[in-house]
Each structure stands twice: as C-alpha cells, then as structure tokens.
Amino acid sequence: MAVKNKFLQGKTINPPPLKSDVRLKELVENTFLAYNAGKLRDACRLFVKKMLGDDVTVGLSLAGALTPAGLGRSCIIPLIKNGFIDWIVSTGANLYHDAHFALGLDLHEGSHFYNDTLLRREGVVRIYDVVMDYKVLLSTDRFFRKILALPEFQKEMGTAEFHYLIGKYVYKREKALGKKEASILSTAFQYDVPVYSSSPGDSSIGMNLAELSLRGKGSRINVSLDVNETASIVYNAKRGRGKSGVFILGGGSPKNFMLQTEPQIQEVLGLQESGHDYFIQVTDARPDTGGLSGATPSEAMSWGKVDPNALPDTVVVYLDTTVALPIITAYALSSSKSRKHKRLYQKRGVLLEKLKKAYLGK
C-alpha cells in the first residue's frame, strides 16, 4: 500500500473551466497538465524558477526557420532585453532573415498550397506559408556586401565579433529608418550578447562573404576561436560558483555546438567539470532515428554534456518551436523580473585567457 500511495501523490487532475479572461500563466498552470502540454509547463517553470537565477549563464540555440515567422521580434528580442539570454548560437539563415525586419523589407503570411512554379515565375519566395518578394533577398544581399566590404571587417575574427559588427550597422539602419526592436543582431549588439554561428558558410550571409572573397575582400572566420570562446563562457560560469543553462530551440548544428562546450572542457582540454546544470529543448525530432543524437538529457549525460545530478532539471518538449517559444516567453515575462545583463561580449577576451591559463597550467 505504501508503494501504491507513492504513485498517487501527484496533484489531482481536475482543471477549472476556462473563462474568457484567462491569463496565459493561469492557462499553463491549470490546463497544461499532461503529455507535451505538461512538458511545456515544466519547461516554463524550470526556465523561470531556476534558469533565470542571477548566478546562471543562459545560452540559447536557434535552428529552423524561426525569424521568418517573426519569432525574433516577438520572443527573442524581449528575452534579450530583459536579460534572460546571455549568449546565442544560431544558424546563419536565422540571422540573415532577421535582417529583413530591420531593413524595412516585408515578409507576408501566405500558404503552403501556393503553386511554386507560379511563385518562381512571379518572383516570390516561399518558406512554407511565409512569402516574400525575391527583391527582399537581393536588397538584403546588397546591404551585407556593402558593410562586409568595410575596413573593420577585413581581418580574421570569430563569429561573435563578426555578428557584433554586423549588429552595429543593422542598429544604425534601424535608427535611420525609424525602426525599433526589429533585429536580434541589433539588440544583441546593444546588450553585448555574443552571437555565434556554428556553420558560418551555410547561409546567405556566408554566401555574400564568399562573393567578397573572390575579390580579395571580407572577413576570415576563425572557427577554432568560436569553439574556445563558447567553452570559456561555460567554464567560467561554473568556475565562478555559478551555473550554466542551455535553452535549445530545434536541433541541428547550433544544438551540438552549444552542448559540445562541456566535452571540449572535459574531454579535449582535460579540465574538471560536470556538465550543464539546466537543460530545456524544444524539438519535433525523435531519438530513435538519430535526430536527437547525443542531445536527450540522459544521452547527453553520457557525453558529459549534462551534470548527472541535474537530470531532474532537464525538460524536452516535443513540440513545434513556433508554438512553444511564445508561450515560454510570455510566461517568463509575466513571472520574472528583468535580470542584469552579463554583457559577455565585452568579457570574451578575459574569459578566454582564464580558460587558456587553466588548460596550460593544469
């Protein structure tokens, strides 16, 4: 009987009827009771109650076509502004399409039933049910080629510095056009949030940089610097008696690049560490097909990516990011006060030197 009662200690499922004036936090707490709704509620709680502690360094990874759907403006920018995100790893495509909003270039709601042959003939580009004029791409390309040809880009650098410089010029263009809070890179620039891209050549930003290289111009991206800088962010968060939390949207290369910081510290550099402390992932992939290889919390633990003691503080929500992220963001904004910005971009050099000293002096 004692064992039986142990399994029946959970809160009774008996939600109140919904009312017309229900608030989002009440909706999540009172009606997201089971299955992936329950997991989404767990993610909201973990993010607010633990990951947003002042001693936690929070990394966000972005994969999938999130910014064309408007999630940059609606969710990611408010998260950065309120100090809820300290560093980012993103696909280049998300950063490229993010720039459209700051440049005053329009994306439109459409339909995935459109005839793509006709769209091509009419000069319309489709991202599922988001559509834009082909000229949006050409205008954005011209903007990137113009700024990437400027003197300050003509050197070797990591993607954090590369995106910081881009963010500076996107911010200037926003102001000139009277735009406000339109771009992730602009907002990250203002709050010194370093933004990395795990595969910088795999986007239209990388394509335009490649065009410049044919003319002997443009930046030379140092990917090893990115690997060491991101590892130093996590290492110093933990060595400074703090904690590390990862908020993973989708999967792909950004997911692995963020999680590999711990194996880089432990396996490659041979420094004592235990793994990330908090882990939230929103995904529609499955582990049995390899789509979540090394990324479910328990599997990631076997790689040293997640602290074994932190498994209760890990949540995987099997849901579309375009559904989950607005709910998590609204829940956090209504439940937690703003955090002081860590401004890690300006601290990159110091953090990297600390990691180097720990490695060479071990």
Q: DSSP assignment of 210-233, as one string? A: HHHHHTT-S-EE-HHHHHHHHHHH
Supply the Cα-derived Rg of the chain in whole angstroms.
21
pLDDT in tens, 83-140: 999 999 999 999 999 999 999 999 999 999 999 999 999 999 999 999 999 999 999 9
**Which of the two residues, 252 and 204, has the higher pLDDT score?**
204
Give the tokens for residue 137: 């791409």
Tokens representing 29 are 């707490």
Mean pLDDT for the stretch of residues 38-58: 97
State the pLDDT confidence band at 4, using cuts at 50, 70 and 90: low
Q: CB–CB of 76/60 below 8 Å?
A: yes
> With contact defined as beta carbons under 8 Å apart, do 22 and 325 qualify?
no
**Given this model, what pLDDT does residue 294 score?**
62
Only one residue has tokens 């720039």, namely 99
Q: What percent of the chain has pLDDT over 70?
A: 98
pLDDT of residue 158: 98
Nearest residue to 90 via CA among 101, 103, 99: 99
Strand partners, 130: 109, 127
Least confident among 3-17, 76-90, 123-137, 229-243 = 3-17
97-130 residues labelled b (16+ CB within 10 A) or e (exposed): bbbbbbbebebeebeeeeeeeeeeeeebbbbeeb
Rounded average pLDDT over 51-75: 96
Active site residues: 305
Confidence of residue 287 (pLDDT cuts 50, 70, 90): confident
Average pLDDT, the chain: 94
Over 70: is that where the pLDDT of 1 sits?
no
Helix axes 35-46, 321-335, angle to 10 degrees: 40
Res. 147 pLDDT band, cuts 50 70 90: very high
Q: Report the pLDDT value the prediction gives residue 241, as an integer from 0 to 100.
A: 85
Answer yes or no: is pLDDT of 3 > 90: no
Is residue 310 classed exposed, middle or buried when 0-12, 13-18 and 19+ CB atoms within 10 A define those classes? buried
Q: Environment class of residue 3 by beta-carbon count within 10 Å: exposed (0-12), middle (13-18) or buried (19+)? A: exposed
Can you say whether the dihedral through the CA atoms of 343, 271, 200, 320 is positive or negative? Answer: negative
DSSP state, 139?
H
Would you place residue 20 in the very low, low, confident or very high pLDDT band (cuts 50, 70, 90)? Answer: very high
Q: Which residue has the tokens 């590369």?
A: 162
- Residue 348's pLDDT is what? 97
Which of 7-21, 64-78, 145-159, 294-308 has the least mean pLDDT? 294-308
- The answer to whether residue 264 scores a pLDDT higher than 70 is yes
Q: Is a pLDDT exceeding 70 seen at residue 58? A: yes
**Could you report the per-residue pLDDT of 334-362, keeping only the tens digit for each?**
999 999 999 999 999 999 999 999 999 97
Helix (H) or strand (E) holding 35: helix 35-46
* CA 341 and chain centroid, separation: 16
The structural domains of the chain, ordered by start, are 32-360 (3.40.910.10)
As a whole number, mean pLDDT of residues 43-53 equals: 97
Tokens of 51: 């990951």
Among candidates 11, 82, 23, 5, which has minimal Cα distance to 47?
Answer: 82
Quick one: what percent of the chain has pLDDT higher than 90? 85
